[in-house]
A = this chain, B = another copy of it.
Amino acid sequence: MPYFDAASAAPLHPVARQALLASLDEGWADPARLYREGRRARLLLDAAREAAAEAVGCRADELVFTPSGTRAVHAGVSGALAGRRRVGNRLVVSAVEHSSVLHAGEVHAAAGGTVAEVPVDRSGAVDAGAFAAALGEGTALACLQSANHEVGTEQPVAEVAEACRGVGVPLLVDAAQSLGWGPVEGGWSLLAASAHKWGGPAGVGLLAVRKGVRFAPQGPSDERESGRAPGFENLPAIVAAAASLRAVRAEAAAEGAQLRALVDRIRARVPELVPDVEVVGDPVRRLPHLVTFSCLYVDGETLLHELDREGFSVSSGSSCTSSTLTPSHVLRAMGVLSEGNVRVSLPAGTAEEDVDRFLDVLPGVVAGVRERLGVPAAPAAAPAAGPGSLVVDALGRRCPIPVIELAKVIGDVPVGGTVTVLADDEAARLDIPAWCAMRGQEYVGEEDAPEGGRAYVVRRTS
């Protein structure tokens, strides 16, 4: 049963399992104690820190273990902001950071701080120059992921780090998705990561803070982990995390090449096999194991459900698969189609046959969903005459219905005529313009609808 959602959580690496078992026996005691069980635990903790620091590319005394990648980001952002409070309260982040960074930013903003978001292009990448330009007066901290968790696009971290260094702003890199593949290049100041993303156990994050970076840990602290991560150390998991990081690094070149070839196959074949698909994310500068595409006229939840029935576990940034009913902020920032979104992230050792079977199954699954939703074939030839404008009321209807309703009637207006879609679904704002781009129709704009919701206006051009 192929599991294709390694970017959410990778299955436990055999080395992690082995190390975890061994340290359940050797590493359950308090490493702060002086008796033999405590000394043994301390040795394990020290060795794990050395190994993790080497993989990160920092000194052991610059690295602490946290209970998760999310907590590492929260502690890193709040500590770095507080450490530079005198400089200012401006936080600069990319628009496609992981939610943990954005949540930390929300807390900062609620406390009176400023958060500036640097936009991304359609591939999901920030422009290093634009990022540098955002490092205005009073910038206390900048955050940039090493690679995006939803679309796999790598960010220009080294260039941005250089720009940050030039103006004396520390850069926090969220390396959660990439650390298993290699160290983060460039002169970053803080780095956060999460063990269960590389095949380590849950319950372990890393936070590295370079010497010389002003850092003031926030919230209650204790004597553990240099005062940066309170609470009893989760030692067996820490040992397993460090051991598996070393192991996946040793395998990264070979594994990465294999998965990259499989992802290349998906990137190439999906648009050939499935009509009306947009593959998103940078085709070259990307994580080796991750590919994302969106299928027009498909709702993500049904698609995921059908793929699950076929035995494939994938995730989605579509609005209808999240509890918030808004499409993923990453897809929104990229301005790409969000409906029928599928993220495939291959775990180490994925079999070629499983990818082939996925490619066999996908077209039928998408076609089935579209059929049930009553998706129109190509629009009818433009009528010579007819109403110059039509209004479609999709208020209260969820993604992808507003777009499907638009597609159904576009054939009824002449070239030059307009269709206005009334919709209150958040995804429509993203998907109606994306549909226009894919279909070669003109997106005129949106405005508040008197009936409530928004009115999206599309002009037929062909």
Instruction: Report how many residues on chain A are interfacial, defined by Cβ distance under 8 Å.
Output: 63
Kindly state whether residue A129 has any CB partner on chain B within 8 Å: no
Tell me how far the C-beta of A300 lies from the nearest C-beta in chain B, rounded to whole angstroms. Answer: 10
Indicate with 1 or 0, residue by residue over A204-248, a CB within 8 angstroms of chain B CB atoms.
Answer: 010000000000000111110000001111111100000000000
Contact of B36 with A99 in the complex, beta carbons under 8 Å? no
Query: Residue of B at shortest CB range from A103?
Result: B220
| Closest chain B CB from A198 CB (angstroms) | 13
- Residue pair A235, B202 in contact (C-beta under 8 Å): yes
Q: Which of A5-13, A325-333, A376-384 contacts B (4 or more CB under 8 A)?
A: A5-13
Chain B residues whose CB sits within 8 angstroms of the CB of A1 once the complex forms: 36
Report yes or no: B230 in contact with A74, Cβ–Cβ below 8 A.
yes
**How many protomers of this protein does the assembly include?**
2
Tell me the minimal C-beta distance from A313 to chain B in angstroms.
Answer: 4
Complex: A117 Cα to B446 Cα, angstroms: 60
Contact string, A59-73, partner B, CB cutoff 8 A, digits 1/0? 000000001111100
- Contact A222 to B35, CB < 8 A, known contacts A28-B202, A29-B8, A235-B202: no
* A5–B33 touching, CB < 8 Å: yes
Q: Can you list 17 A-B pairs with a CB-CB distance of less than 8 A?
A: A1-B36, A5-B33, A8-B33, A9-B28, A17-B24, A33-B315, A35-B312, A35-B313, A68-B230, A68-B231, A71-B231, A100-B220, A106-B220, A202-B233, A202-B237, A223-B323, A234-B237
Residues in A lying within 8 Å of B, measured CB to CB: 1, 3, 5, 8-9, 11-12, 17, 20-21, 24, 28-30, 33-38, 67-71, 74, 78, 99-100, 103-104, 106-107, 194, 196, 201-203, 205, 219-223, 230-237, 301, 304-305, 307-308, 312-315, 321, 323
